[in-house]
Amino acid sequence: MSDERPNMERRFEVSATLDQDSRSDSESIKIETRDLNVYYGNFRAVRDISLKFPTTRVSALIGSSGSGKSTLLRTLNRMHDAIPGTRITGQVTLDGEPIYGDNVDPIMVRRRIGMVFQRPNPFEKTIFDNVAYGLRFLGKLSKSERQDRVESSLKKAGLWDEVHERLDSSALSLSGGQQQRLCIARAIAVEPEVILMDEPTSALDPIATHNVEELMRELAKTFTIIVVTHNMQQAARVSHTTAYMTMDEDRAGVVVEVGPTGRIFTNPVDSRTEDYITGRIG
Amino acid sequence: MQPARTMKRYRSRTMINRFMLILTIGSTGVALIPLVLILSYVFQQGIGAWGVEFFTETYRPVTLGEGTVQVGGVLHAIVGTMIIVGVALLIAVPLGIMAGIYLAEYPGNRSSTIIRFCTDVLTAMPSIVVGVTAYILIVQRTQQFSALAGSIALVVLMVPIITRTTEEMLRLVPDASREAAVALGAPKWWTTLTVVIPMAFSGIVTGILLALARAAGETAPLLVTVLGNNNLAYSIFEPMQALPLLAYRYTEQPFTEMNDQAWGAALLLVVIVLITNISVRLATRKRLSR
């Protein structure tokens, strides 16, 4: 543990400089939650979440299992809608506009807020068709436009060089890490504004994890990224802001502390955050 | 624990393991005996009736007395079975698949519970009951035995099979696949159509084949609806002949030539079901390799 420390310190410096950078346009908030509560039946899964996610930044949600990170993430693009018995109070806004409301189509919300899941979940289709799947929702695209979009998405996801000769083979023939980058390519092909990532590297080996993390940093130049992770080093490496969540006495997830990643990891205000990041709990 | 005792336990476990393995293999063998017996007996009895005439001719009265006996063929029953089952398939497949989609993709509400219950009841319904119902509701009202009435009776038998297999197969598709499409902004119906159904496709086809095999061999509901016909008939609004019906009727005849034809028809039925099964499986085998 002790010999890892200097390494981490250096990463924090990097994060700190990025934070200064973010302070200059701190006005720009992409997604905001206000007093958000999510219930599964009578059980309250997350309680009174009020968070701001800045534009074109990586925001990390960290915390132990059961702290409601994934539940919170899935409310941000209305993925709970399909699950019977789920109830949401409070509000989530995208560019200041509420995404929960009678006149809001969840499908339109999801086209602006993409998602990458914990386990790679490519369709049983060809690599090309996987990336092109969402394109038909963008209106009529010509064949060459579609091909260009697939190519540029695969390039952005850092997968093009590995797959450009076999776009017609099954996506299931790819390795786990490649599949996850394919899922990212699929998500960015429809050019969302926000990408939600639910533990995107937990099913991947260290090299694949490294590739995906590099990619997240790269994508943050154009997209707003919100990532749930169990891996604190990952949050430290890739995120600009970090929110630490935990489970309260009623087993509901709450936000303990939120701030620039560098500060959260070097100088946490709340003792519970400190316990978690120093490895005493969780 | 002493090594000796551990060894003893290990040996007894291995013994039990071997015993159970033999038991399961033996049971499988016993279960296969009737299948092999039936198939070989039908083949043995039926192959003699097969000849060019058998497939190209229709019914011809058995000539009594001296000389060569002309028995005709079962072409009218082959055509009849294909039309009756084909029409039933055209109606039952879309109905069954759509009902199955509803049960699997929109579960948990009251109407899907009721539909599932009714489907289970229908699955266990004796086919003669379905036939008599079709007789009362269709044949009596139209004052006409017809192939269509038979097809509709078969539809009632096929739909629950297709519905339940479709439902089961769609349930096997992991939610992660649905979520992947939904997160891309796909509407639910599009997700079902382009992601869920393709993944369950071969299973759904299996359900259709099961239903087809059941329908092709049904005799009871056809007795009271399509009636039977000794001539080649193409109109679904008229009485028609079908292979199981012909086999049943011909076994009642006093002429051995007709009894033989009944066996031939039975064999043909088995072969048709088998060929359909194999060819559909070949055609729908997954093209995407893992």
Structure tokens at B101: 């989609």
Nearest to A134 among B177, B184, B290 (CB): B184
Query: Which residues pair with residue A87 across a beta bridge?
Result: A39
Query: What domains appear along chain B, each with residue ranges and CATH number?
Result: 75-283 (1.10.3720.10)
N-term to C-term CA, chain B: 47
Q: What is the pLDDT of residues A43-75, one digit of tens each?
A: 999 999 999 999 999 999 999 888 999 999 999
What share of chain A has pLDDT > 70, as a percent?
90
Mutation to test the B interface, candidates A76, A94, A110, most B Cβ within 10 Å? A110
| Burial of A217 per CB tally in 10 Å (0-12, 13-18, 19+) | middle
pLDDT band at A4 (very low <50, low <70, confident <90, very high): very low
Report how far apart, in Å, the C-alpha atoms of A217 and of each of A59, A62, A154, A212, A235 are.
Answer: 11, 17, 16, 9, 11
CA angle in degrees (0–180, nearest 5) for A94-A100-A106: 85
> What SS3 state is found at A78?
coil
In this predicted structure, the answer to whether residue A272 has a pLDDT above a threshold of 70 is yes
With CB atoms and an 8 Å threshold, state whether A133 touches B288. Answer: no
pLDDT of residue B1: 53
Using the Cβ of B187 and the Cβ atoms of chain A, whether some distance falls under 8 Å is answered with yes
pLDDT band at A137 (very low <50, low <70, confident <90, very high): confident
Nearest to B183 among A115, A123, A170 (CB): A115
Find the closest chain B residue to A134 by CA distance.
B184
Q: What is the pLDDT of residues B258-272, one digit of tens each?
A: 899 999 999 999 999
Q: Position B30: which residue type?
A: V
Residues in CB range of B107: below 8 A, 6 or more apart? none
Q: What is the pLDDT of residues B8-55, one digit of tens each?
A: 889 999 999 999 999 999 999 999 999 999 999 999 999 999 989 899
Structure tokens at B250: 């011909």
Structure tokens at B226: 């399509």
| Residues in chain B where the model's pLDDT stays below 50 | 288-290
Chain B residues 191-230 within an 8 A CB cutoff of chain A:
194-195, 198-199
With CB atoms and an 8 Å threshold, state whether A125 touches B182. Answer: no
Say whether the ipTM exceeds 0.85. Answer: no
Mutation to test the B interface, candidates A127, A133, A138, A188, most B Cβ within 10 Å? A133
pLDDT band at A19 (very low <50, low <70, confident <90, very high): very low
Q: Is residue B67 within 8 Å of B87, Cβ to Cβ?
A: no
pLDDT of residue A229: 92
Mean pLDDT of chain B: 90
| Burial of A227 per CB tally in 10 Å (0-12, 13-18, 19+) | buried
Residues in CB range of B202: below 8 A, 6 or more apart? B284, B285, B286
B194 CB neighbours in chain A (<8 A) are 133
| Burial of B95 per CB tally in 10 Å (0-12, 13-18, 19+) | middle
In this structure, of A59-63, A96-100, A257-261, B104-108, the range with the lowest mean pLDDT score is B104-108
Q: Report DSSP letters for chain B, one per residue.
A: --HHHHHHHHHHHHHHHHHHHHHHHHHHHHHHHHHHHHHHHHHHHHGGG-SHHHHH--B-PPPPSSSPPP-B--HHHHHHHHHHHHHHHHHHHHHHHHHHHHHHHSTTSHHHHHHHHHHHHHHTS-HHHHHHHHIIIIIHHHTS--HHHHHHHHHHHHHHHHHHHHHHHHHHS-HHHHHHHHHTT--HHHHIIIIIHHHHHHHHHHHHHHHHHHHHH--HHHHTTTB--SS----TTS-B--HHHHHHHHHTSS-HHHHHHHHHHHHHHHHHHHHHHHHHHHHTS--S--
pLDDT of residue B277: 84
Query: What domains appear along chain A, each with residue ranges and CATH number?
Result: 2-277 (3.40.50.300)
In this predicted structure, the answer to whether residue A26 has a pLDDT above a threshold of 60 is no
Using the Cβ of A123 and the Cβ atoms of chain B, whether some distance falls under 8 Å is answered with yes
R_g over Cα of chain B: 25
With CB atoms and an 8 Å threshold, state whether B179 touches A190. Answer: no
A82 CB neighbours in chain B (<8 A) are 178, 182, 188
Q: What is the pLDDT of residues A222-253, one digit of tens each?
A: 999 999 998 888 999 999 999 999 998 888 99
pLDDT of residue B284: 77
Using the Cβ of A176 and the Cβ atoms of chain B, whether some distance falls under 8 Å is answered with no
pLDDT of residue B286: 58
In this predicted structure, the answer to whether residue A21 has a pLDDT above a threshold of 50 is no
A173 CB neighbours in chain B (<8 A) are 289-290
With CB atoms and an 8 Å threshold, state whether B184 touches A125. Answer: no
